[in-house]
Structure 1
Amino acid sequence: MNDRRKGELIIGTFDAERFWRDPNLAMLPSFRDPEMENVVAAMDELLFPFCEAQDRLVTRYRMNACHKAYLHELGFEFHSNSTDLEEPEAGSAARTANIFDLITLADRMGDMDPQWLDGARLSPFAVIPGADRAAARYGLKQDFPAVETVQTVNSKLFSTELNRRLGLRSDSQTVYSHEELLASGLTLLRQGPLLIKDEFGVSGKGNLLIESEGMLRRVTSYLGDQHSKGRTVRFIIEPFLRKELDFSCQFHIDQDGAYRLISVQKLVNRHFAYQGSVTADDTLLHVLREAEYFEVMKLAARELYRAGYHGDVCVDSMLLTDGRIVPIVEVNARRSMSLIKHYVDRYLEKHSAAGSMTHVTVQFACDVTFDQLLETLDREGVLYKPDRGFGILPLSANTLFINKVVSERRGIRNKQVKGRLYYSLVGGEQDREGLSAKVKEVLSSLSFKIVG
């Protein structure tokens, strides 16, 4: 039996940057949102498209039974744990331990068969501290790079240096003190707004748009206070570029350094946060080929391999309003939301369908269940089924209800909580707007308030 048929253990966390970031680094001002932190902790259910029939998916919280049954009916074949690795009411305090630490310290990995685990391959969403210990604890095969290498290549410092190494135009610069940030920032502000980037910022956190001298001075003062308490100040600053389009390129670097292009996805971002992915059309692909964009991706893969990395990569890129392409905004040396979308597309292609991936954020206090949501979507004729050929394919359930569960486990009922539903809009481009409106209409009918 070869390694692939033995099976893979799919596992991961969607806030990997938190575990790569040096805790001694100064932080940009931001507001914590504990409910959204709970949503992020539940996002590992989105990893199911990576699974084949012989694989196992391990999630922090067991998958919703109705959601899992629906996915199995569609033909997604995977096994997953039926017990929680962590009690939902433990909240963010318990998540100082990442998911690999949770399974390493446990007597067993949920209800996974120890015999199956022995010799299976660990396939993490992102390589973070503890992945190697978890593999050793359960006798899992590991062929991923060292976490120190992964940490290095995921830093925006690496992306900034990579642009220079490849001879690409780059307006980014690294500042190493709050005084340098103020001086360089004032110079950039003469030309227009600027961005301050945390080296491990992600999805709306760690990117700060500065549009005035007053705001810049307040931020540098805030960072100066942290410096006086022993924190290290180190950020990337760059002009705020007027963009026409965000997009990303997914590729894989084999262990021998071979490069394999996977897909290009147009991105929908809002306030620097991910909102969705749509497969790049022929027009964009033609523009990229003419600009030799894919040659740059090959060179980026070469440099990543030289740095010791192999595995999945997602490079964020931009098309500016003046037609200029910024090929490397940042490197994400891990799997990504757009790669999940690509794997959902591979399933849909078998049924002569295509989709785009997105999400909706809601608030609610009602006692609605995921089963009711599926039933309502089906009754309205918009729940995706292969014989229907179009519709809404829910990709998550726990992310929608996790804060309701936490609230009720703490003995608080009927509290207004936040949730998020990830889903694929399956159908032609002309169907997406109508389907998007329909899912929001269905959620509203079930007493969910749309907030994002």
Structure 2
Amino acid sequence: MSESKLIRLGTFDAERSWRPSGLATLPAVRSPGGDRVAAAMDELLAVLCGPDDLLITGSALPDSFIGVLAGAGIALRYRQAPPAGTDDDGHLTVEQRLLHAAPGDLAGYGLAPYAVLPETGSLIRACGLRTELPGVDVVCRVSSKTWSNALVRTMGLRGAGTVARSVPELLTQVEQLGTATAVIKDPYGVAGRGTMAVSSPRMLRTVTRVLQRQADQGAAVELLVQPHYDRAADFSAQIHVTEDGEIRWHGIRLMENEAFSYAGSRPVPAALQQRLAQAGYRELITGVGTALASEGYHGPVCVDSMLLRDGALVPVLEINPRVSMGLISLALERRLAGPGTTARLSVRTLRLPEPSTVSRVFGRLTAVLEERGGLLQAGRTGLLPLTVNTLRPPRGRLYYAVVARSLEEDRLLDETMAEALDMVGRQPTEVSHAP
């Protein structure tokens, strides 16, 4: 994208907009406050902003948050999306809110959204933005795991599953796997939602009962069935497909996952880099980008991959045609890490005392980090909180960067964060550690 100044915004739950209506859903337990957290994750886009860019967020950013970012070398121009003035305000995307009251001073900006949504095209026209993005129909098609699974089969890669389009087909395909555990995926699931590891006949009966009930009411069944892989490492490749079909390589990040949910990204160890180079991984991912371009897609792409314990490579597990946590993690590395240091992105889920406000929680957190010498300053090592409105009681989530010179310093910084969060609320229930 060649525009000199960009608007950055986004809805991190884009897959919900891409998912066709009428599809049966897998049984799931929703995380309390999960929607509120997802709505505030657009704050992570600050690390992608250049000096002339404008970040538009769904929630107001406290001055303290902007100051902490500036102290680490991330100067930010931002504004909050205007309220739509409707009863549905809390459920509207930033794009939809801007459409309700299109600002008149954005003409001439380019647009770099987290993902292309159904309303993105209308927003471009309403605000006079200078951007060519793929059609949402293209994005919806290539974001489906059904599409990526077909591509895996066409390329002859390991990791292809089968697509079940009825409950009887699902039962047959799980049985034919012949493995102790089967993984069933919604074609538009993301970040732990819409993925189930089925390890017993009883669990399978529960899943099929829920699905059959929906099918009896007219819902369509479309699910990807895969074996449960004995994975040694999860990682992702970040590329950009240009409008003329050129594939630009950004890099690879090792992913930390907990029960299919994202828990962090960090640099890839040298041994894994060498293994991937020997396997021609970059060339395989370039082939994925070429296939996306042939479908009419252009823009950011994240390809999830894994290395199995037997040494086998599954190069294409999922394809995400959007900005990703891996791309954000790479941006952190390039902006915050200096000679002899590395940067990683980490996540902690925590319970917070009530009543409280995000400003109070964030202020207390950064004060404790500063007192302990752990708050990141430009050119140094330390910890940098990257979100603020995700810290809403009673259950919040903190996304933060860890910049360290060594694994030992990384470990000590993580201990500092744990102690700080313990003082703010109570010990987090989910922790992401460097190895």
Does 2:243 align with 1:255?
yes
State the aligned residue count: 425
Does 2:395 align with 1:400?
no
Task: State how far apart, in whole Å, the 2-side matches of 1:386 and 1:74 are.
Answer: 4
CA contact (8 A) 1:265 1:280 kept: yes
User: How far apart are 1:447 and its partner, in Å?
Assistant: 3.0
The 5 Å alignment of 1:351-366 reads 353-365=341-353
CA contact (8 A) 1:351 1:386 kept: no
CA contact (8 A) 1:399 1:419 kept: yes
Task: State how far apart, in whole Å, the 2-side matches of 1:197 and 1:66 are.
Answer: 41
Equivalent residue, structure 1, for 2:95: 100
Equivalent residue, structure 2, for 1:193: 181
SS at match of 2:134: coil
Task: Point out 4+ residue stretches in structure 1 off by more than 6 angstroms.
Answer: none
User: How far apart are 1:37 and its partner, in Å?
Assistant: 1.0
Percent sequence identity over matched residues?
Answer: 33
Q: What stretches of structure 2 of length at least 5 have no aligned partner?
A: 431-435
Of 79, 87, 91, the residue aligned with 1:81 is 79
Task: State how far apart, in whole Å, the 1-side matches of 2:420 and 2:126 are.
Answer: 45
Summarize deviations over 1:264-316 as a string: whole Å, max 9, x none: 00000001000000111221111001011111111111101001111111000
SS at match of 2:3: helix
Equivalent residue, structure 1, for 2:270: 282
SS at match of 1:238: strand
User: How far apart are 1:75 and its partner, in Å?
Assistant: 2.2
Equivalent residue, structure 2, for 1:411: none
Equivalent residue, structure 2, for 1:407: none
The 5 Å alignment of 1:140-159 reads 140-159=129-148
CA contact (8 A) 1:176 1:234 kept: yes
Give me the CA root mean square deviation: 1.9
Task: State how far apart, in whole Å, the 2-side matches of 1:369 and 1:290 are.
Answer: 47
Equivalent residue, structure 2, for 1:414: none
User: How far apart are 1:95 and its partner, in Å?
Assistant: 4.9
Task: State how far apart, in whole Å, the 2-side matches of 1:100 and 1:37 are.
Answer: 17
Of 337, 361, 368, the residue aligned with 1:376 is 368
Equivalent residue, structure 1, for 2:423: 445
CA contact (8 A) 1:61 1:84 kept: no
Does 2:45 align with 1:56?
no
Q: Which amino acid aligns with 2:310?
A: D
Task: State how far apart, in whole Å, the 1-side matches of 2:265 and 2:244 are.
Answer: 30
CA separation of 1:335 and 1:435: change in aligned 2, threshold 3 A: same
Equivalent residue, structure 2, for 1:162: 151
Task: State how far apart, in whole Å, the 2-side matches of 1:4 and 1:448 are.
Answer: 45
Q: What stretches of structure 1 of length at least 5 have no aligned partner?
A: 405-416
Of 110, 117, 136, the residue aligned with 1:121 is 110
User: How far apart are 1:94 and its partner, in Å?
Assistant: 4.2
CA separation of 1:82 and 1:197: change in aligned 2, threshold 3 A: closer
User: How far apart are 1:71 and its partner, in Å?
Assistant: 1.1
SS at match of 2:383: strand
CA contact (8 A) 1:171 1:239 kept: no
The 5 Å alignment of 1:37-56 reads 37-56=35-54
CA separation of 1:28 and 1:95: change in aligned 2, threshold 3 A: farther
Q: What's the TM-score once normalised by structure 1's chain length? A: 0.90
Equivalent residue, structure 2, for 1:390: 381
Q: What's the TM-score once normalised by structure 2's chain length? A: 0.94
CA contact (8 A) 1:122 1:141 kept: yes
Task: State how far apart, in whole Å, the 2-side matches of 1:52 and 1:363 are.
Answer: 34
Task: State how far apart, in whole Å, the 2-side matches of 1:314 and 1:233 are.
Answer: 26
